Structure 1
Amino acid sequence: MSEEKLYAVKDDEGEYWDFGGKTNRFWSLLSVEVPVTDNKEIASTVAKATGGQVVALVEEPKKVVLTKEQAEIVDTARVSDIPATYISARTDEYNGEESLLINAFANGYTVEKEKKYLVELCGLVTTDGAKQYLTKKNGKWFACRRMPGMHQDFTDKELNAAPEWAQQLNREEVNDDAD
């Protein structure tokens, strides 16, 4: 995070000083041309002279991306008496995981999407020439053209539990940005 900060001066009514304005008074935020300055001394001088207060604007820290397992540790730490100790006891400090989870605890996190794969059954086509893909329904594995509503995008875990012949097939990562 950058050390550069921006400062606004706000009064008790919630209006802001216009650092670029032609008059010396506070305005609603929508009416202010230049609501901030990067000079803390100027902001402090204005606040002192007008009875306002300096408000430092800081960038919100970026949320870190965690695995589902790491997210569970952070969530459980929130209800722990000593969250940092809870996290520390469940992570490896030497690979940076501990500080990653402490950061997630403090600044928030998102959970990474699990990769999914499509398995084309090379050389296998329908009578009208459509490609066939590995499909699973009701515990049965079979070949089917690409169809909405059919289970054809699989996680590594699902494919590792598939019959041995299916585990040998080439996997193509599905880029599903719609979720």
Structure 2
Amino acid sequence: MSEEKLYAVKNDEGRYWDFLNEDGFHDFDSVDTHTTYEKQQAEAVADDCGEHVVTLIEEPKKVVLTKEQAEIVEKAHDSGYPATEIFSGTDSGAGEERLLIKAYVNGYTVAKEKRYMVELDGLVTTDGAKQYLTKKDGKWFACRRMPGMHQDFTDEELNKAPEWAQQLDRKEVTDDDE
């Protein structure tokens, strides 16, 4: 988070001082310059007008968590003892605990799980299209890349695939591949 702060002066009616025009308090939408970097300037305006300084800070960035870590943080939010929930839910040590506490306080997003496609080297259709590992209705087979076919797999899915399929090289799917 940046150490720089911005200051605004707000009155009890929810109107803001215009630092550009210095002509009084206005609705937020009609103020040209809402803030100043100068704390003393904001305090002087507030003192002169009998109003108060509002310090604006950057919203902290959300932490990126795994699905499992997010579940721990959710349990902590539902618990009367969040720190205990976080401590008992982790086994990776203080680093993970700090990460989860930061997520508890600042919010979080869940990382997209990596997905992989498996090209079947040397296997092509009669018109020369590459073949990829595909799964449908519990069956594993070869198929060209086709929308709607299950051809992008998580590690967990590939670990449940037949042994021969687990031995094949996998390539991480990017947004360009989808």
Distance in 2, matches of 1:164 and 1:92, equals 31
Q: CA deviation at 1:173?
A: 0.5
Q: 1:61 to 1:178 in 2, by over 3 A?
A: farther
CA RMSD between the two structures: 1.7
Distance in 2, matches of 1:177 and 1:97, equals 32
- Which position in structure 2 is the counterpart of 1:118? 117
Residue ranges of structure 1 left out of the alignment (5+ in a row): none
Q: CA deviation at 1:51?
A: 2.3
Distance in 2, matches of 1:177 and 1:9, equals 47
Q: CA deviation at 1:35?
A: 1.2
TM-score by length of 2: 0.94
Contact 1:93/1:99 (8 A) holds in 2? no
Secondary structure in 2 matching 1:78: helix
Amino acid at match of 1:130: A
Aligned pair count? Answer: 178
Residue ranges of structure 2 left out of the alignment (5+ in a row): none
Distance in 1, matches of 2:169 and 2:26, equals 64
Distance in 1, matches of 2:95 and 2:141, equals 43
Distance in 2, matches of 1:128 and 1:173, equals 26
- Which position in structure 2 is the counterpart of 1:165? 164
Q: Segments of 4+ in structure 1 off by > 6 A?
A: none
Aligned runs of 1:90-169 on 2, under 5 Å?
90-92=89-91, 94-169=93-168
Amino acid at match of 1:2: S
Percent identical: 68
